[in-house]
Amino acid sequence: MVIQSIFRRGVEQGFIRESPCHNVILPKDRNKKKKTSLDEDEIKRFLNLLDTKPCDEDFKRIIKVLLYTGMRSGECLGLMWEDIDFDDMMITINHNLTDIGGKHTLGSPKTESSRRTIGMSETLADIFREQKQYIDKMSTALGCKFAHPEMVFTSALGNYRDRNSVYHSLKRFTKRTEFESMTLHQLRHCNATLLLNSGVDLKIVSEHLGHCDIGVTANIYADVLKSTKAKVADLVTLKLA
């Protein structure tokens, strides 16, 4: 990265025509295994950090929705109020917010299987109710200038919420904490890991995540399934002891 920066400056200053670092693909460290999820104790500590560390409450609600639902960030930011059913306690995922070249587009979910309905806990419903009060307050204050009152999560001016801004907010929030390397997508992995460790059937977890095939889920969470099988074996042994 340092060398790339040097050569880029050389191009800008006119010393060279083209950077030799252009289109270089860095090799992956195959010996380094990246941690995709947090364990249960780590998730509890992270939630405690969300509740105690000062930060924009709107941002905190987005992070909690991602963690409690396992939605992709684009699906979360693409939620509309008509997708939240407080009577039947269900959330319907009908949209995906994408950002191409700085232009936000509200389109269909990633795949047909991504279009799904998931359950909503009372805790999650309370988060959405708080968000509704926030959006209604902002919409009333700005009037017609508030662009998208139909969206669950928006910018301060009511525009589509930028995924990169949420990511950078997460980086600032977790800086100098044990969660400094956390990403938005990791929250999805945390949700799936909690479900699998709780004994939820793999097929149900796959449908909950919106995967196109149960094999995709099994492949991504192979390590989690392996540890779960070991727990099941120990549980049978304890029962028969």
Look at residue 236 in the predicted model and tell me its pLDDT: 61
Whether 29 is covered by a domain: the verdict is no
pLDDT tens, 62-73? Answer: 999 999 999 999
Look at residue 22 in the predicted model and tell me its pLDDT: 73
How many domains in the chain?
A: 1
Instruction: Identify the bridge partners of residue 99 per DSSP, sorted by sequence position.
Output: 104
Confirm if 125 and 95 have CB atoms less than 8 A apart: no
Please state, in angstroms and rounded to a whole number, the distance separating the CA atoms of residues 52 and 227. 32
CATH number at residue 89: 1.10.443.10
Whether 46 is covered by a domain: the verdict is no
φ and ψ of 71, to 5 deg: -70, 155
Range of the domain at 145: 56-240
pLDDT tens, 211-221? Answer: 988 988 888 88
Question: What is the pLDDT averaged over residues 2-28?
Answer: 80
> What percent of the chain has a predicted confidence (pLDDT) above 70?
90
3-state SS, residue 100:
strand
pLDDT tens, 87-132? Answer: 999 999 999 999 877 789 999 887 888 999 999 999 999 999 999 9
Whether 66 is covered by a domain: the verdict is yes
Please state, in angstroms and rounded to a whole number, the distance separating the CA atoms of residues 229 and 196. 10
Q: Which two tokens stand for residue 121?
A: 């806990």
3-state SS, residue 123:
helix
Q: Which two tokens stand for residue 86?
A: 């407080």
Of the pLDDT bands very low, low, confident and very high (cuts 50, 70, 90), residue 18 is confident
Q: Which two tokens stand for residue 77?
A: 């930011």
User: Smallest Cα–Cα separation from 70: which of 107, 37, 29?
Assistant: 37
